[in-house]
Structure 1
Amino acid sequence: MANHVYTAAALAAAFFLAPANAQASPQAALPSAEVTTAVDDVVARYELPGIAVGVVVDGKVRHWEVRGETAAGSGERVGRDTLFKVASNTKAMTAALLARQVDAGLLAWDDPVVKHLPGFRMYEDWVTREMQVRDLLIHNSGMGPGAGDLMLWPEPNHFTRDDVIAGLEYLKPRWSFRSRYAYDNTLYIVAGEVAAAVGGAPYDVLLRREVFEPLGMDGCRIGEWRISEAGSVASPHVKRQGQWIARQDGEVVADMPMAAAGGVRCSLDSMLRWTQTWLAEEGDTPHSGWLSKKQREAVWTPHMPMPLTSRMREWNKSHFYAYGYGWRLSDVDGTAKVAHTGTLSGMYSAVTLLPELGTGFVILINGEAGEARTVLEQVLTKHFTAPGQNRTVAYYAEDLARERAAPESSAARQSSGAPVADARASAPRSIASSSELAPWLGEYRDPWFGDVSICPSDSGARFESANSPRLSGPVFNAAGRFLVDFEALESDADAWLDFANDSPDGKKQLTMAKVDPDADFSYDYEDLHFRRTGECASQ
């Protein structure tokens, strides 16, 4: 089976490296009215707080749409210059920065990471030795999805980039190195520090110098910056009881550890310049020499096969799926697709390129709107790859609703390795008393996440994290199993607390797991292994 997967990847590489026709075909003629209708429909169906969409055809911005407010109820309208978090679309920018350094002879893709970061360590020594710069970008580490993300999110927290890198040696892999795809963010942090080490400047300085400035992406921010100096800035939103609630930034946006994985904010105009750069043939634009043809090809080479979903087969007639350097690569209706999405704290983004059609588009949304992004990205893609189908937002939204309603047994989830919901998750909850928790109260430590406490409070007991203050909340009892309700987070972020006495060193143990097994994998509680270090200060 593995040989067939890699054969498919090899065929995909040939497909992507074949000469592309960057001239839009008649099939790719811009359907402006349909774009407007699709944006209107998705805004109405999902009641989005704000959205910005732009389309590039034949190297030019041919259409754009903006709707809504930067913050619900503020009266400030979203514009083409409004800054949105692009989240994981930052990864392609980090990869491009490294590609520029390869062009400059500062590093090679197959350099060992330890050549540039001598203190770098993975859980297994042989992986530390063998990990190359290219491996940092393609999600083949063997770690589980989102491993170590609790050092990056929720924000703000007290972790540093050094903490993230130091924590990697404690993250036990789930699979063998280079054996399979599993999405991670932490190794992109390492990639950013490799760039800083060889470039002689911090990551944010290099990204501005090597990417934003030469490409004219003036409406992008990275590192530390001030809201009052940035113009229009969209606030992320979460939905509570049917209402969008804006999460306002402070005046100063900090240089967060996760910058190289998802820390960029950009305007629609700047993201469209980014799109134009990647769609341009060599010599077509003033920026075409910004990256060599060899490195453009390296970035879009399928380096790691990804699972091809039934939805991709049904919706897009896709035959392969793979990860390049910061981009996802696939085929849709017989044409190449290069794309990525971004999801971060109440903001969603998508960048989609159809290079053989000379077409691309950008979607920026300032709300929790994963399905809205999915259906709009699909509608816009199909307008160019299969315009005769005339499939609408409603068509794809209803298809997703049917998919959610389809029965899926616990046995099927178990056979696929997916976690199964504990029936106690839906049981009535009661505040756990200090007496119930008496054997387990105290201070605990995990080697990469740091210190937490489970100690008495006025109403019972609370879980408090020293390094990630938003991971705090009251402890409940649900039919005999303890859980913590993280008050500052989404409801699906709650975590089971499982205690044990049988650790090798005789100390009490604490492990955690998602109450909702389908919660975002960045809540990687399953990678935590706490040992009790002492009594509560009040005991």
Structure 2
Amino acid sequence: MEWWKVNPRSVPFAATLLAAFFFLQPAASVARPASAVRAAVDDAVERYRLPGIAVGVVVDGQVQQVELRGETASGSGDAIARDTLFKIASNTKAMTAALLARQVDAGLLAWDDPVVKHLPGFRMHEDWVTREMQVRDLLVHNSGLGPGAGDLMLWPEPNAFTRDEVIAGLAHLKPRWSFRSRYAYDNTLYIVAGEVAAAAGGAPFDVLLRREVFEPLGLDSCRIGEWRVAEAGSVAAPHARRDGGWVARPDGEVVADMPMAAAGGVRCGLDDMLRWVQAWLDPETPGSDGAPWLSQTQREAAWTAHMPMPLSQRMRDWNRSHYYAYGHGWRLTDVDGTAKVSHTGTLSGMYSAVTLLPELGVGFVILINGNAGEARTVLEQALSRHFTAGASAGAGEQAPEAPRPSLVDHYAGLLAMERSMAAAEATTSDASAGTDPARRPATAGGMATWLGRYRDPWFGEVTVCAVDGGVRFASLKSPRLSGAVLLEGERLLVDFDTLGADADAWMEFSRGVEGGSARLVMAKVDPEADFSYDYEDLAFERVGDCS
């Protein structure tokens, strides 16, 4: 079966990718011991003290193994179950892409339709990009915007931005690169994709996703849109690290229909995610009408290399990878000479991973209800290599048990080594630059020139105002983006109240030309912080006094 195609628009990349295909030989079927997967999950839980995790494996179309550990909320006594709902976050993207693919199969739209054909009010910062952007472009991260552009309208949650405001904000986000020239991950254009689907399908996005994806595939527990927690059964709470332990942040009574639903708003249990995996591994998967749920043409389009992605040294070293690209909601690469189709999800204290190894007939799902990015990385890597390295054992042979130290410990050790080397480089750099002085509160008197209300065209209004002798920054529409203004040396920064240190932001004030209004720009204190803190795209102008 031909699983992969190359986007003809990426001619230089096509040659490289086609060369890589010569390494992809069909792998022999091997027996893979369940004990090795179980041991890897146990190792991850022990090493990272995870609050809860659900892992499932599909082999040759059947659910071969399920591993459940921990609680829905730390200390609650409620065990993680097969139907416990987790935020799958950006693994939603493949579902949004599948909804659009179903609409293409139905003749409701085409991948090369201009977006403005379906959303006449859609605007990007540059008019020519507005005219040229096609439906396909919404899914493959080639917009020219910086990574995570506009994400401050989506999180931290909860906030008061609407879907219409998020889409309108795109007109004010300046591109960093030319349209279609390079890969940079975004979420906001998937929100546009959801609205294109709604316009073409004549119903809201959440209604269409349930009708075209959940119901035909039997994803009965999955939730999208607004729903009541009490009616959903077991629901995992996201967790954040605090004082060496886990603190749960459970939902309220009602989960709202959030603006970023099409980019990362789905919640599912493990059993439903395994059915999702089975649907992609079996091209004959029927829909509710008995016909194939998705045509072969659209399956191939989903796993086509539409946009090349940077191939990291880690991928070369760990996986012997030759290529890396983005399809329709999926990341495409090779591991040990076999094709890998995957995605991850990260959102508000929850991590997910979906990995397919189509040539081996293998897929697996990882769902974690804690802020545990490294745990997901090492476990996903350990399970991938368990299957891809085991396939080289030969037909009919038994793959060996996972050696000790485990694969989880092995890859965790490699990450620790990377951090150590990075820290050594940073220490050398800091030694030459001098040590930063301790932080101290900014004073209202010292900042009198800059106090007031400020507005950004896409993010809206914030205040920088005196409170109890100090100064506070507060966003009107994103209440968790509020915190004390501090001084570090001569530089000002915001220490947000409820977010981690990686969310801290530098503040730089200036005066417009000829004594115009005061201006404020911001930037991440930690350059390696999550790109969703896209402070660099903000351009505030003072619009009034503090009230």
Query: Which residue pairs with 1:506 in the alignment?
Result: 516
Q: 1:208 to 1:422 in 2, by over 3 A?
A: farther
Question: Counterparts of 1:252 and 1:424 in 2: how far apart (Å)?
Answer: 50
Query: Which residue pairs with 2:348 in the alignment?
Result: 345
Question: Counterparts of 1:5 and 1:313 in 2: how far apart (Å)?
Answer: 17
Please list every run of 5 or more consecutive structure 1 residues that lacks an aligned counterpart in the other structure.
Answer: 415-419
Q: 1:158 to 1:183 in 2, by over 3 A?
A: same
**1:378 aligned to 373, 381, 384, which one?**
381
Query: Which residue pairs with 2:328 in the alignment?
Result: 325
Deviations 1:28-79 (A, max 9, x none): x332000000000000000000000000001000001000000001110001
1:167 maps to amino acid: G
Question: Counterparts of 2:223 and 2:436 in 1: how far apart (Å)?
Answer: 42
Question: Counterparts of 1:491 and 1:226 in 2: how far apart (Å)?
Answer: 33
**2:542 aligned to 516, 532, 535, which one?**
532
SS of 1:169 mapped into structure 2: helix
Q: 1:54 to 1:503 in 2, by over 3 A?
A: farther
Question: Counterparts of 2:16 and 2:506 in 1: how far apart (Å)?
Answer: 40
Aligned-pair CA distance for 1:183:
0.2
Question: Counterparts of 2:475 and 2:432 in 1: how far apart (Å)?
Answer: 25
Aligned-pair CA distance for 1:459:
4.0
Q: 1:438 to 1:410 in 2, by over 3 A?
A: farther
1:111 maps to amino acid: D
SS of 1:496 mapped into structure 2: strand
Query: Which residue pairs with 2:197 in the alignment?
Result: 195
Q: 1:451 to 1:80 in 2, by over 3 A?
A: same
Query: Which residue pairs with 2:477 in the alignment?
Result: 467
The RMSD of aligned alpha carbons is: 2.4
**2:420 aligned to 384, 398, 405, which one?**
405
1:398 maps to amino acid: G
Aligned-pair CA distance for 1:427:
2.9
Question: Counterparts of 1:339 and 1:228 in 2: how far apart (Å)?
Answer: 32
Would you say the 8 A contact 1:302–1:322 is kept in 2?
Answer: yes
Q: 1:506 to 1:276 in 2, by over 3 A?
A: same
Aligned-pair CA distance for 1:281:
3.2
**1:366 aligned to 369, 375, 389, which one?**
369
Q: 1:25 to 1:479 in 2, by over 3 A?
A: same
Would you say the 8 A contact 2:279–2:285 is kept in 1?
Answer: no
2:499 maps to amino acid: L
Question: Counterparts of 1:176 and 1:251 in 2: how far apart (Å)?
Answer: 44
Would you say the 8 A contact 1:92–1:326 is kept in 2?
Answer: yes
Question: Counterparts of 1:26 and 1:284 in 2: how far apart (Å)?
Answer: 25
Question: Counterparts of 2:43 and 2:244 in 1: how far apart (Å)?
Answer: 18
Residue 254 in structure 1 maps to residue 256 in structure 2: yes
Query: Which residue pairs with 1:214 in the alignment?
Result: 216
Would you say the 8 A contact 2:54–2:69 is kept in 1?
Answer: yes
2:50 maps to amino acid: L
2:370 maps to amino acid: G
Query: Which residue pairs with 2:3 in the alignment?
Result: none
Question: Counterparts of 1:231 and 1:188 in 2: how far apart (Å)?
Answer: 29
Question: Counterparts of 2:16 and 2:267 in 1: how far apart (Å)?
Answer: 35
**2:295 aligned to 273, 277, 292, which one?**
292
1:353 maps to amino acid: L
Aligned-pair CA distance for 1:341:
0.2
1:498 maps to amino acid: E
SS of 1:173 mapped into structure 2: coil
Q: Comparing 308-317 with 497-506, which one deviates more in the overlay?
A: 497-506
Q: Comparing 284-293 with 294-303, which one deviates more in the overlay?
A: 284-293
SS of 1:444 mapped into structure 2: strand
Aligned-pair CA distance for 1:410:
7.7
SS of 1:270 mapped into structure 2: helix
Would you say the 8 A contact 2:286–2:292 is kept in 1?
Answer: no
Question: Counterparts of 1:255 and 1:281 in 2: how far apart (Å)?
Answer: 32
Would you say the 8 A contact 2:150–2:188 is kept in 1?
Answer: yes
Aligned-pair CA distance for 1:369:
0.6
Query: Which residue pairs with 2:90 in the alignment?
Result: 88
Q: 1:167 to 1:9 in 2, by over 3 A?
A: farther
Residue 103 in structure 1 maps to residue 118 in structure 2: no
Would you say the 8 A contact 2:352–2:365 is kept in 1?
Answer: yes
Question: Counterparts of 1:172 and 1:128 in 2: how far apart (Å)?
Answer: 13
Query: Which residue pairs with 1:226 in the alignment?
Result: 228
Question: Counterparts of 1:514 and 1:85 in 2: how far apart (Å)?
Answer: 26
2:13 maps to amino acid: V
SS of 1:436 mapped into structure 2: coil
Aligned-pair CA distance for 1:219:
1.3
Question: Counterparts of 1:323 and 1:54 in 2: how far apart (Å)?
Answer: 24
1:273 maps to amino acid: R
Question: Counterparts of 2:425 and 2:62 in 1: how far apart (Å)?
Answer: 50
Question: Counterparts of 1:401 and 1:15 in 2: how far apart (Å)?
Answer: 34
Aligned-pair CA distance for 1:283:
6.1
**2:181 aligned to 171, 179, 193, which one?**
179
Query: Which residue pairs with 2:269 in the alignment?
Result: 267
Would you say the 8 A contact 1:350–1:373 is kept in 2?
Answer: yes
Query: Which residue pairs with 1:457 in the alignment?
Result: 467
Alignment of 1:388-427 (within 5 A): 390=403, 392-407=407-422, 426-427=436-437
Share of identical aligned residues, percent? 69
Would you say the 8 A contact 2:123–2:170 is kept in 1?
Answer: yes
Question: Counterparts of 2:443 and 2:101 in 1: how far apart (Å)?
Answer: 56
Query: Which residue pairs with 1:417 in the alignment?
Result: none
Aligned-pair CA distance for 1:502:
3.0
Task: Count residues in correspondence.
Answer: 525
Aligned-pair CA distance for 1:461:
1.1
Question: Counterparts of 1:283 and 1:397 in 2: how far apart (Å)?
Answer: 37
Aligned-pair CA distance for 1:392:
1.3
2:362 maps to amino acid: T
Query: Which residue pairs with 2:15 in the alignment?
Result: 7
Question: Counterparts of 1:15 and 1:183 in 2: how far apart (Å)?
Answer: 29
Query: Which residue pairs with 2:310 in the alignment?
Result: 307
Aligned-pair CA distance for 1:408:
7.2
Question: Counterparts of 2:531 and 2:179 in 1: how far apart (Å)?
Answer: 20
Would you say the 8 A contact 2:217–2:287 is kept in 1?
Answer: no
Q: 1:422 to 1:151 in 2, by over 3 A?
A: farther
Deviations 1:397-419 (A, max 9, x none): 001100111147989x99xxxxx
2:69 maps to amino acid: R
Question: Counterparts of 1:109 and 1:468 in 2: how far apart (Å)?
Answer: 34
Would you say the 8 A contact 2:285–2:293 is kept in 1?
Answer: no
Would you say the 8 A contact 1:167–1:448 is kept in 2?
Answer: yes
Q: 1:350 to 1:529 in 2, by over 3 A?
A: same
Q: 1:230 to 1:426 in 2, by over 3 A?
A: farther
Please list every run of 5 or more consecutive structure 2 residues that lacks an aligned counterpart in the other structure.
Answer: 1-9, 391-399
Question: Counterparts of 1:488 and 1:288 in 2: how far apart (Å)?
Answer: 49
Question: Counterparts of 1:169 and 1:49 in 2: how far apart (Å)?
Answer: 41
- TM-score relative to the length of structure 1: 0.93
Q: 1:529 to 1:73 in 2, by over 3 A?
A: same
Query: Which residue pairs with 1:73 in the alignment?
Result: 75
Residue 496 in structure 1 maps to residue 506 in structure 2: yes
